[in-house]
C-alpha cells in the first residue's frame, strides 16, 4: 500500500511518550477524548492527512477507534478536536473512541498518513474505503503507539 516515495513523519503527543501508558483521561475510563498529537515535517506535496487509531490486540482483530481524513496539512491535532472528516469506527459511531480493552494490556496505534490528494468519501465511511482511496497517494507516514489496560 505504500508508495515508492514515502517519507517518515514523526508523530508524538504531549500527553504520553511512545510505548508508554495512555493517560486515563483519553480512555473509556476517563473523559474519552482524543489526546493532542504533534506531527513533524510533512512532505512538500502533502495535500491532506489521514489519521487512523487502532488496536491490533482486540479479540475480534484490528479494532478501529478513530478514523479521520481530509485533515489539512497541520502540525498539531488539538486535544478533544476533529479537524477533518470523521469516519465510522468499530464502536459504530463517528467520534473518537478511546482505549477500552476487555482484558489485559492492549497497544493503540495513532497512525498519520500524508497524502498527495484529498479523499472523495462521505462522512461516516469505513476504514476499508479510506485504505482503498489512499492507495498510491501516500507520500509520508508515521505512528505513535501507546498502551492501556483497565
- pLDDT tens for each residue of 29-56: 999 999 999 999 999 999 999 999 999 9
Per the confidence metrics, is the pTM higher than 0.85?
yes
Helix (H, G, I), strand (E, B) or coil at 57: coil
pLDDT above 50: residue 10: yes
Q: What is the pLDDT of residue 5?
A: 60
Residue 135 lies in a domain: yes
Domain count, the chain: 1
Q: What is the pLDDT of residue 1?
A: 45
Question: How would residue 6 be classed by pLDDT, with cut points 50, 70 and 90?
Answer: confident
The whole-number average pLDDT for the span 59-83 is 97
Q: Is 22 exposed, middle or buried (0-12, 13-18, 19+ CB in 10 A)?
A: buried
* Contact status, residue 148 vs residue 106, Cβ threshold 8 Å: yes
Tell me: the pLDDT tens digits for 92-148?
999 999 999 999 999 999 999 999 999 999 999 999 999 999 999 999 999 999 999
Residue 2 lies in a domain: no
User: Which residues form the domain of 26?
Assistant: 7-141
Q: What is the pLDDT of residue 4?
A: 52
Helix (H, G, I), strand (E, B) or coil at 107: strand
Indicate which CATH number applies to the domain containing 32.
Answer: 3.90.280.10
Cβ contacts of 59 within 8 Å, gap of 6 or more = 102
Angstrom distance (rounded) from CA 46 to CA 3? 13
Helix (H, G, I), strand (E, B) or coil at 48: strand
* The three three-digit cell numbers of residue 23, written as one number: 493517560
Amino acid at each position: 500500500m505504500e508508495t515508492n516515495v514515502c517519507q517518515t513523519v514523526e508523530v508524538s503527543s504531549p500527553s504520553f511518550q511512545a510505548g508508554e501508558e495512555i493517560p486515563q483521561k483519553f480512555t473509556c475510563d476517563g473523559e474519552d477524548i482524543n489526546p493532542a498529537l504533534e506531527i513533524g515535517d510533512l512532505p512538500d506535496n502533502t495535500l491532506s492527512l489521514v489519521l487512523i487509531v487502532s488496536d491490533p490486540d482486540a479479540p475480534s482483530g484490528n479494532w478501529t477507534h478513530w478514523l479521520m481524513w481530509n485533515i489539512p496539512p497541520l502540525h498539531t491535532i488539538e486535544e478533544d478536536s476533529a479537524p477533518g472528516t470523521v469516519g465510522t469506527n468499530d464502536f459504530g459511531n463517528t467520534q473518537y473512541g478511546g482505549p477500552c480493552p476487555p482484558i489485559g494490556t492492549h497497544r493503540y496505534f495513532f497512525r498519520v498518513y500524508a497524502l498527495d490528494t484529498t479523499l472523495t468519501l462521505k462522512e461516516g465511511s469505513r476504514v476499508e474505503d479510506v485504505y482503498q482511496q489512499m492507495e498510491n497517494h501516500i507520500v509520508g507516514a508515521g505512528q505513535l503507539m501507546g498502551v492501556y489496560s483497565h
